Amino acid sequence: MTLLAERLRTVRPSETKAMTARSAELRDQGVDVITLSQGEPDFDTPAAVCEAGIRAIRDGRTKYTAVAGIRPLRQAIRESFARDHGLDYGLDQITVGCGAKQVVFNALFASLDPGDEVMIPTPCWVSYPDMVALAGGKPVLVACDELDGFKLRPEALEAAVTPRTKWLMLNSPCNPTGAVYDRDELLALAEVLRRHAHVYVLSDDINEKLTYGNDFATMAAVAPDLYERTLTVNGVSKADAMTGWRVGYGAGPLALIKAMNLIQGQTSSHTSSISQYAAIEALSGGRDHIDEFARAFRERRDLMVGKLNQAAGLSCRVPKGAFYVFPSCAGVLGKRTPGGKVIETDTDFAMYLLDAFAVAAVPGSGFMASPYIRISYAPSLEDLTRACDRIIAACAALS
């Protein structure tokens, strides 16, 4: 009998974490690595949010909390959904987890039986297929063409549905492409879903507040008849620069939320009590910082797109949200590095950028799409400018 479970054979290490770890190793060796591999805003958590966390410590709010999250936070989440989208959830329809990532996993683990399928439009976030596999389901990858803005078309959705399809996962704005589904596009997908009543929607809206000139839309609000078939996931990590505080949340069908709470009660119990009190301030206090963040990210996006399109062999679309660009590197495949190695894949190109020019990006293969690379524009303008200059030089050095 072996120690490790058979299901781990289907799970890959996170490409983003691997590249970030490799960058840290090089940095420890004295290399001036510019890390663009992780979605980590360089802004500090807003002062008022930090003060709320400090106040929670001083007030002794350091004990166990309810598994689903403290009531005042769930009330703040409820009010946020109502204010932003007109969605009405009872407090018992809301659960709080250790980041949106845990909320997604709890939902999959609570709902999937062996052989159940989860439809995942690709390019997709690296963790989706592996979380589905860990939960015992079968990830079904549906390729979305760059010419369609990397977004799922209704006809592709229709073609991929089977009697075993349990979930459609929608991530908008998307990691890694920055694609944003508008209201009409969601309505077109909803029309297909109405013909397949056994399919539920997991709407991962974690990047909701980071859009650039687009009206964000979410499925449960756009198609009220799908409200009972939709789990809407969000959190404070991205828009409030609270990645390390680990607060995500989900709202959806009561039976599902209860099952997710059951799983959480037997695993993590709940997220940090201190973080939960800080998140109340993030959701209920002044959120002027979000507009400031979005303006800064838009400036960084425009810099990145402009410079990357100057790099020989790269082609970069303008993303509509989040803080990632996803340029095609098809034009560098087949070329040789100064050291004589042929660039055969996007992984080869990403490693060339890291090893020869000290820029860490993530190969598109990690997001189920090649040949692309994902670059985060969450770092500072200074670092992005230096990184782009290195990427341009790296492409020019190929022959």
Whether 318 shows a pLDDT value over 80: the answer reads yes
Instruction: Using the predicted structure, report yes or no on whether residue 398 has a pLDDT greater than 80.
Output: yes
> Which of the residue ranges 2-6, 20-24, 76-80, 380-384 would you say has the lowest mean pLDDT?
20-24
8 pLDDT band (50/70/90 cuts)? confident
Give, to the nearest 10 degrees, the angle between helix 127-134 and helix 100-111: 40
CA distance 298 to 310: 19
Backbone angles phi, psi at 301, to 5 degrees: -60, -50
pLDDT tens per residue across span 322-361: 999 999 999 999 999 999 999 999 999 999 999 999 999 9
What mean pLDDT value characterizes the chain? 95
> Does residue 265 carry a pLDDT above 80?
yes
pLDDT bucket at 293, cuts 50 / 70 / 90: very high
Which whole number is the average pLDDT over 55-84? 97
Tokens 């001083």 found at: 58
Q: What pLDDT is attached to residue 320?
A: 95
Q: How high is the pLDDT of residue 317? A: 96
Q: Give the residue extent of every domain in the chain.
A: 6-44+289-396, 47-284
Q: Is the pLDDT of residue 2 over 90?
A: no
Look at the domain 47-284 and name its fold: Aspartate Aminotransferase; domain 2 (3.40.640)
Number of alpha carbons in the 13 Å side-chain half-sphere of residue 108: 33
**Fold type of domain 6-44+289-396:** Aspartate Aminotransferase, domain 1 (3.90.1150)
Alpha-carbon dihedral angle through residues 158, 113, 250, 47, given to the nearest 10 degrees: -110
For residue 380, is pLDDT > 80?
yes
- pLDDT one-digit tens code per residue, 215-256: 799 999 999 999 999 999 999 999 999 999 999 999 999 999
Q: How far apart are CA 214 and CA 206, in angstroms?
A: 16
Q: Which of 36-40, 268-272, 387-391 has the lowest mean pLDDT?
A: 36-40
Q: Is the pLDDT of residue 16 over 80?
A: no
